[in-house]
Structure 1
Amino acid sequence: MSGRTQLMWDEAVTGYDFGPEHPMDPVRLELTRKLVGALGLDRECDVVRAKPAGESTLRLVHREDYVEAVKAASVDPGAADGAYGLGTMDDPAFAGMHDVSAVIAGLSVGAAEVVWRGDALHAVNFSGGLHHAMPGGAAGFCIYNDASLAIARLLELGAERVAYVDVDVHHGDGVQAAFWEDPRVLTISLHEHPRTLFPQTGWPEETGAGAGAGAAVNVALPAGTGDAGWLRAFHAVVPELIADFRPDVVVSQHGADTHFEDPLAHLAVSLDAQRAVQVACHELAHEYAGGKWVALGGGGYAVVDVVPRSWAHLVGVAAGKPVAPETVIPESWRQDVFARTRQLAPVRMTDGRWPVEWRGWEAGYDPADRLDQAVLATRRAVFPLRGLLA
């Protein structure tokens, strides 16, 4: 019998800190953990630590020379090797960088292990989802690719099929790259179109190679896409592919930077739509993967108004105690936010758009609509490779 949902947490993750001017402010993790506690969600799951990812685990995805470069930069940040993406504006080196990155990676790998063993059906690591790191380099605020490491560990443990669903506003390029030729891993990424956003990859024509042809799926959404379009795109692509693939485990990445308040991107998605996709991922895991679900965080740079609420919803969904959108946020948390950031915190767990209305793909499509064009481009590129009708 599977135990309660596990929330993977270690205070050390707040040390993943690129500096005061960097948008990846670790306060977002601290505030999320406090909101989870204020809502009582930590009483609905087991809060556990995990071993930091060691050398052999990191090498499941990352090259040995890169890991050594991260270690060296952690000791002497001023000597970081830019050839590995370290010491850049996106990924400035900082003391202890290797250790804290290994902690985050270890939490995601630990989540994968407990779900695979059956100790828990669901496990959440909202400090994870660092999906841009490549086998041989840092990129996009990401040092070690914990999502890829979790998937690689599942394969090592015997999983035959792992589905990865990435709804961050940025393309999940590092995970796609790690499994580009591996038919055992289906990577699906919904993201803002590469014409308008980093990392300028994730075109619908990127579908994998060799034995992995058709195992990479990319939905490139037009800038300005809102709730109805985002949910329409998700449901027009993801459920049908998951149903066909029949994964042993679903791993999902829930970057909160699709939100209309996020300062680094151009989608217009609400917290309520983000919650709806969390619920959908949970349901897909139960329908097609025996309930086995590893849920990760990701990007998100509206660190007070959006990220804590979005990921607290994620914990609630995973724990089987979803937070009602109309829930009033405890005053104690709002006071903590002001004391910590001097910002006023949101009052409710909603943006006022629940329930979100959207139109299913089966209702037909408009060939002149940019969102429908994006969805159709993905279906035409991938579905025939998987023996499905586009």
Structure 2
Amino acid sequence: MAKYAGYESINQAAVFVYSPEQLEYKFSETHPFNQKRLELTIDLLMQSKALQPVDIVQPRVASDEELLLGHDAAYIDIVKRAGHGYLRDGEGELFGIGTEDTPIFTNMHEASATFVGGTLTACDYVMQGKAQHALNLGGGLHHGFKGKASGFCIYNDSTVAIKYMQKKYGARVLYIDTDAHHGDGVQWSFYDDPDVCTLSIHETGRYLFPGTGAVTERGNGQGYGTSFNIPLDAFTEDDSFLEVYEQSIREIAAHFKPDVILTQNGADAHYLDPLTHLYGTMNLYNEIPRIAHDIAHEFCEGRWVAVGGGGYDIWRVVPRAWALIWLAMTDQESPSGPLPQNWLEKWQPEAPVKLIETWEDPSPLYEAIPRKEEITEKNHQVLEKALYMIRQNCQE
């Protein structure tokens, strides 16, 4: 690939994109999408001495021109007017705005554009060589469509960011989504694009929103063969998830040969998540980013942008899971033992549940799954189907 415009020598391993303005994306006090999890994660990293103020860079607000890379002008106008009280009754519902999933809140355009701008900031740092890796936990809103909000997502920062990296840097992008919900908005945006490869590993749509992500969704036209889906059976545990993840990411990266990887890191495949039915533990969230880190260095000269995503047990799961992404990015050892006492004492009075006090989950976290062998074999068969085309091409 040609040298990127504005390329500079790398001056740090990773940057952490964040500003308090990212907390303003807030539907209501009772909505499951709660950005308090960002504050909890950053404080956990700070209390652990794993994140320093010098590591943090401010996100910019995405311009309308940038948002138009992934969204219609009419939709952007609706979002703007909704956030300032200028919609007629029911006007936003055709656009997914003002629904139960995506209620209207003040300044929703500005808050959403800040998420997108954070991911674009991360992309520029990586693609210009200012850092090898960049993390924007405020991003990962993978259900947003070109002209419609969906699944708590207003603007789809990953879609905009991929289009941006294509336009500005001419990059081939591998998008990897390990959220328990299918990464539908990103997949459909690039379904016919041969220069973007999407891999989504998620709970089967038979039981879970958005109901898509079948193994047969492989792309269309010139993009056929660049869309990969591995729907996992409900009650899938760590070992089966990681088998599917590591084999698929390695074979797909070797086949597609990306210039950069963008990973969406939903933390809702955990057993304690209230919206899903997978049986992951913190071991899953320790391994996922470390494998992604290896893949980035093996295939992309280290270029790796990571964003957040789902995660609805914001007290016991998300801070620990998301902190592990940063630790992997910065080559810090996997933590073990107790969480910082100051962090526990600060947040336990506010938490509605008893906090888990260690980096690891309690063992056992749940009762043994009677169908474990059956579930594992079923997931293995789905993996084989998903990778069949790649493996056939390798044999020819």
- Same topology, TM > 0.5: yes
- 2:339 matches 1:329: yes
Which residue number corresponds to residue 244 of structure 2? 233
Task: Provide Cα deviations, 1:140-168, integer angstroms capped at 9, x if missing partner.
Answer: 00001011111111111223311000000
Which residue number corresponds to residue 75 of structure 2? 66
- 2:355 matches 1:374: no
Q: Is the 8 A contact 1:123 1:295 kept in 2?
A: yes
Q: 1:329 & 1:145 partners in 2: Cα distance?
A: 33
Question: Please, which of 356, 359, 362 is the counterpart of residue 346 of structure 1?
Answer: 356
Which residue number corresponds to residue 302 of structure 1? 313
Report the AA paired with residue 382 of structure 2: A
Paired residues for 1:139-218 under 5 Å:
139-218=150-229
- 2:67 matches 1:41: no
Q: Is the 8 A contact 1:38 1:332 kept in 2?
A: yes
Q: How far is the alpha carbon of 1:384 from its aligned partner?
A: 6.1
Moved more, 232-241 or 202-211: 232-241
Q: 1:128 & 1:162 partners in 2: Cα distance?
A: 17
Q: What SS is found at the alignment partner of 1:42?
A: coil
How many equivalent residue pairs?
A: 377
- 2:383 matches 1:383: no
Q: 1:219 & 1:35 partners in 2: Cα distance?
A: 32
Q: What SS is found at the alignment partner of 2:349?
A: helix
Moved more, 368-377 or 126-135: 368-377
Q: Closer, same or farther in 2 for the Cα pair 1:301/1:368, shift >3 Å?
A: closer
Q: How far is the alpha carbon of 1:2 from its aligned partner?
A: 1.1
Q: 2:346 & 2:395 partners in 1: Cα distance?
A: 52
Residue identity over aligned pairs, in percent, reads 34
Q: 2:377 & 2:164 partners in 1: Cα distance?
A: 41
Report the AA paired with residue 171 of structure 2: E
Q: How far is the alpha carbon of 1:341 from its aligned partner?
A: 2.7
Task: Provide Cα deviations, 1:155-208, integer angstroms capped at 9, x if missing partner.
Answer: 112233110000000000011011111111110000001111110110011111
Report the AA paired with residue 184 of structure 1: D
Report the AA paired with residue 380 of structure 2: D
Q: 1:367 & 1:260 partners in 2: Cα distance?
A: 16
Q: Is the 8 A contact 1:159 1:248 kept in 2?
A: no
Q: 2:268 & 2:39 partners in 1: Cα distance?
A: 17
Q: 2:183 & 2:283 partners in 1: Cα distance?
A: 22
- 2:272 matches 1:261: yes
- 2:22 matches 1:13: yes
Question: Please, which of 115, 138, 145 is the counterpart of residue 127 of structure 1?
Answer: 138
Which residue number corresponds to residue 283 of structure 1? 294
Which residue number corresponds to residue 326 of structure 2? 315
Structure 2 unaligned segments of length 5 or more: list them: 1-8, 365-372
Which residue number corresponds to residue 111 of structure 1? 122
Q: Closer, same or farther in 2 for the Cα pair 1:59/1:227, shift >3 Å?
A: same
TM-score (normalised: structure 1): 0.92
Q: What SS is found at the alignment partner of 1:369?
A: helix
Q: Is the 8 A contact 1:183 1:213 kept in 2?
A: yes
Q: Is the 8 A contact 1:366 1:372 kept in 2?
A: no
Q: Is the 8 A contact 1:192 1:266 kept in 2?
A: yes
Q: What SS is found at the alignment partner of 1:41?
A: coil
Q: 1:46 & 1:313 partners in 2: Cα distance?
A: 16
Report the AA paired with residue 110 of structure 1: T
Q: Closer, same or farther in 2 for the Cα pair 1:71/1:353, shift >3 Å?
A: same
Q: 1:336 & 1:24 partners in 2: Cα distance?
A: 22
Report the AA paired with residue 383 of structure 1: I
Task: Provide Cα deviations, 1:59-101, integer angstroms capped at 9, x if missing partner.
Answer: 0111111100100110117745100000111111111110010
Q: Closer, same or farther in 2 for the Cα pair 1:41/1:234, shift >3 Å?
A: same
Task: Provide Cα deviations, 1:302-344, integer angstroms capped at 9, x if missing partner.
Answer: 11000000001111111222442x1421111112212333443
Q: 1:126 & 1:350 partners in 2: Cα distance?
A: 21
Report the AA paired with residue 282 of structure 2: L
Report the AA paired with residue 14 of structure 1: L
Q: Is the 8 A contact 1:229 1:371 kept in 2?
A: yes
Report the AA paired with residue 103 of structure 1: T
Q: How far is the alpha carbon of 1:12 from its aligned partner?
A: 0.8
Q: Closer, same or farther in 2 for the Cα pair 1:24/1:138, shift >3 Å?
A: same
Q: How far is the alpha carbon of 1:133 from its aligned partner?
A: 0.1
Q: Is the 8 A contact 1:258 1:268 kept in 2?
A: yes
TM-score (normalised: structure 2): 0.91
Q: Closer, same or farther in 2 for the Cα pair 1:225/1:124, shift >3 Å?
A: same
Q: 1:235 & 1:213 partners in 2: Cα distance?
A: 22
Q: Is the 8 A contact 2:255 2:390 kept in 1?
A: no
Report the AA paired with residue 220 of structure 1: P
Q: What SS is found at the alignment partner of 1:51?
A: coil
Give the superposed CA RMSD: 2.1
Q: Is the 8 A contact 1:77 1:95 kept in 2?
A: no
